[in-house]
A and B are shown apart, each in its own frame.
Chain A
Amino acid sequence: MLLEARGLAIAYGDARAVWDATLAVDAGEVVAVIGPNGAGKSTLVNTIAGLHRPLAGALSFDGLDLGAVAPHRVCRHGIALVPEGRRLFARMSVEENLDMGCYRHEARRARAATLERVYGLFPILRARRRQAAGSLSGGQQQMVAIGRALMARPRLLLLDEPSLGLAPAVVDHMFEIIRAIHAEGVTILLVEQNVVRALEIADRAYVLEEGRVVAEGPPAVLREQTRIQEAYLGLRDGGGPS
């Protein structure tokens, strides 16, 4: 297993966000974490990226205990985050944002080649590369966020709600890009509210509800379960659209 989390508990101060999460991602997989708002999905990926420390549980990446790694060193091991809400450096230009992605030394050496790859995926960014990232449209900002993470040449890409706030056509494009990135051999952990979309692309998925993993399995199995609808819509009888 590339990434393994066992019995993770995470809190902001004393506000618990994740109670008990166990999940694993194998190299080459696309794994989705789905669940309603407030289920703790973002907290989980942010913790994997080193933004928070877990309260309890074990977190390992390629055999390495991530709990013992300083936050700014996590990325060295090949983990890159596309955070929820994009969190670009809004006053810096597009290309400077991409440069921050290849800040670590190994990635810096490959800058020229990676930059070509990112501009290949998102041609519009090449045209906008001198523009302040904060002045772009939502979809373009999402491209910068993904491009910034790719610049780090990650083995594991953490994607947190890449479709949030985007128009349907842009969402389609974003998922095509994710497929393309995966096709290049990057392992992906995808957090997504859009269950239908997430299950289309994922090899496996975990359902997180109120900070706990309540279901897991391949999409075909999860689609049959009522657990997802219960979690999202609160409907006990699992009724679908009337």
Chain B
Amino acid sequence: MPSLTLLGQAVVSGLLAGGLYGLLALGLSLSWGLLRLVNLSHFALALLGAYLTYQLGHVAHLAPWTAAALIVPVFFVVGMALHAVFARFRVTEFTSLLVTFGLAVILESVIQWFWTADYRRYETPWASASTRVGPLFVPTLELLACLTAATLALATWAWLRFTYVGKALRAAAEDPAMAGAFGVNHRAHAFVLSGISAAYAGVAGAFIALISTLAPAQIWVWLGTVFAVAIIGGLGHPVGALLAGFLIGVSESVTMAVAAPAWAPLVSFSILIALLVLRPERV
């Protein structure tokens, strides 16, 4: 059994990693829960965002926040464009999975074409910065990512909960025809939500660039875990996605500390399988 400090450190890094999971799951959960579109290319878009942040920082020497400020609005437009394709071809929940699967592969190829399959590392002065809390280390960038995730999740929650557009989106997810009868233009809102979801992928990408080593195949590494997070958190529930991210992050890092690092995926996927088999009506 590892020491208490080690366990504590595992919990801290789990929470921080979980914040990033939650951030990635946020966009997926929104479009799946509220538009019934499963966007597998969300991860590819996030990784593209990471590479662009890297490129703008490494080559054009733009600060990561400047890069993000450029990337996020562009991604918003990309998300809307993607939705235009879905709307044009009346893509169903299931075909959206296949189409975005293809799109993810294309994006992976694009990334590999420009940046090759070699690992890329965006070296910044903040990469090794950390705060010490008692015996525990809290890396600054991870903390920032986690706080951003929490802020976005709460802001999205408040937007869905308190604004008319947010309520209209939730109402249309339940009964689009009735929402329409009260004046909701769901088609227009769906574009906005798709844009937001893609913009969140851009935000996540900026942090991925700062925190981890980049490789094109990472698209598929995140996929399983983040899907598990989105489903466990409840589709369309931003705060749920965040909390599920924490749950998975902590259970993975504690598993790593107690058993071996390689056992970590077993936890998240077992939770996902159990949830699908025991409570399929929640999805």
User: Is the CB of B164 closer than 8 A to any CB of chain A?
Assistant: yes
A82-106 residues with Cβ-Cβ distance < 8 A to B are 83, 87, 89-92, 96, 99-101, 103-104
Q: How far is the CA of A108 from the CA of B180 in the complex (A)?
A: 16
Q: Which of B22-30, B102-110, B143-151, B170-178 contacts A (4 or more CB under 8 A)?
A: B170-178
B142-190 residues with Cβ-Cβ distance < 8 A to A are 164, 167-168, 170-171, 174-175, 177-186
Q: How far is the CA of A61 from the CA of B185 in the complex (A)?
A: 21
Residues of A within 8 A of B178 (CB): 83, 87, 89
Q: Are B181 and A74 in contact (CB under 8 A)?
A: yes
Residues of A within 8 A of B177 (CB): 51, 71
Q: What is the predominant secondary structure among interface residues of chain B facing chain A?
A: helix
Q: Are A89 and B170 in contact (CB under 8 A)?
A: yes
Instruction: Report which of B164, B175, B185 forms a contact with A87, defined as CB distance below 8 A.
Output: B175
Question: Using an 8 Å CB-CB cutoff, how does the interface string of A105-149 with B read, 1 for contact, 0 for none?
Answer: 000100000000000000000000000000000000000000010
Residues of A within 8 A of B181 (CB): 49-51, 71-72, 74-75, 80-81, 83
Instruction: Report which of A49, A50, A100 forms a contact with B171, defined as CB distance below 8 A.
Output: A100
Residues of A within 8 A of B167 (CB): 92, 96, 99-100, 103
Q: How far is the CA of A50 from the CA of B184 in the complex (A)?
A: 12
Q: How far is the CA of A83 from the CA of B184 in the complex (A)?
A: 16
Q: Are A108 and B174 in contact (CB under 8 A)?
A: no
B176 → A minimal CB distance (Å): 10
Q: Are A100 and B182 in contact (CB under 8 A)?
A: yes
User: Is the CB of A152 closer than 8 A to any CB of chain B?
Assistant: yes
Interface centre among B174, B179, B183, B184 (most CB of A within 10 A): B183
Question: Using an 8 Å CB-CB cutoff, how does the interface string of B179-206 with A read, 1 for contact, 0 for none?
Answer: 1111111100000000000000000000
B282 → A minimal CB distance (Å): 12
Q: Are B174 and A91 in contact (CB under 8 A)?
A: yes
Nearest residue, chain B, Cβ from A151: B182
Nearest residue, chain A, Cβ from B171: A89
Residues of B within 8 A of A99 (CB): 164, 167
User: Is the CB of A182 closer than 8 A to any CB of chain B?
Assistant: no
A96 → B minimal CB distance (Å): 6
Q: Are A72 and B180 in contact (CB under 8 A)?
A: yes
User: Is the CB of A155 closer than 8 A to any CB of chain B?
Assistant: no
Q: Are B171 and A92 in contact (CB under 8 A)?
A: yes
A139 → B minimal CB distance (Å): 20
User: Is the CB of A73 closer than 8 A to any CB of chain B?
Assistant: yes
* Known contacts A100-B168, A103-B164, A72 near B174 by CB under 8 Å: no
* Known contacts A51-B177, A99-B164, A103-B164, A148 near B170 by CB under 8 Å: no
A225 → B minimal CB distance (Å): 34
Q: How far is the CA of A44 from the CA of B282 in the complex (A)?
A: 35
Instruction: Report which of A51, A90, A92, A103 forms a contact with B183, defined as CB distance below 8 A.
Output: A103
Residues of A within 8 A of B174 (CB): 89-92
Interface centre among A71, A91, A99, A100 (most CB of B within 10 A): A100
User: Is the CB of A76 closer than 8 A to any CB of chain B?
Assistant: yes
Residues of A within 8 A of B179 (CB): 89, 100
Question: Using an 8 Å CB-CB cutoff, how does the interface string of A175-193 with B read, 1 for contact, 0 for none?
Answer: 0000000000000000000
Residues of B within 8 A of A148 (CB): 182
Q: Are B175 and A104 in contact (CB under 8 A)?
A: no
Q: Are B180 and A152 in contact (CB under 8 A)?
A: no
Residues of B within 8 A of A75 (CB): 181-183
Residues of B within 8 A of A72 (CB): 180-181, 183-186
Q: Are A101 and B182 in contact (CB under 8 A)?
A: yes
Interface centre among A51, A72, A89, A108 (most CB of B within 10 A): A72
A16 → B minimal CB distance (Å): 20
Residues of B within 8 A of A90 (CB): 174
Kindly list the 3 A-B residue pairs having the minimum CB-CB distance in the complex, ordered from nearest. Answer: A104-B183, A72-B180, A89-B171
25 A/B residue pairs, CB under 8 Å, sorted by A:
A51-B181, A71-B177, A72-B180, A72-B181, A72-B186, A73-B183, A75-B181, A75-B183, A83-B178, A83-B181, A87-B175, A87-B178, A89-B175, A89-B178, A92-B170, A96-B170, A99-B167, A100-B167, A100-B168, A100-B184, A103-B164, A103-B182, A103-B183, A108-B164, A152-B183
Q: Given A99-B164, A104-B182, A152-B182, 7 other A-B contacts at CB below 8 A?
A: A50-B181, A72-B185, A75-B182, A89-B178, A92-B170, A100-B184, A103-B164
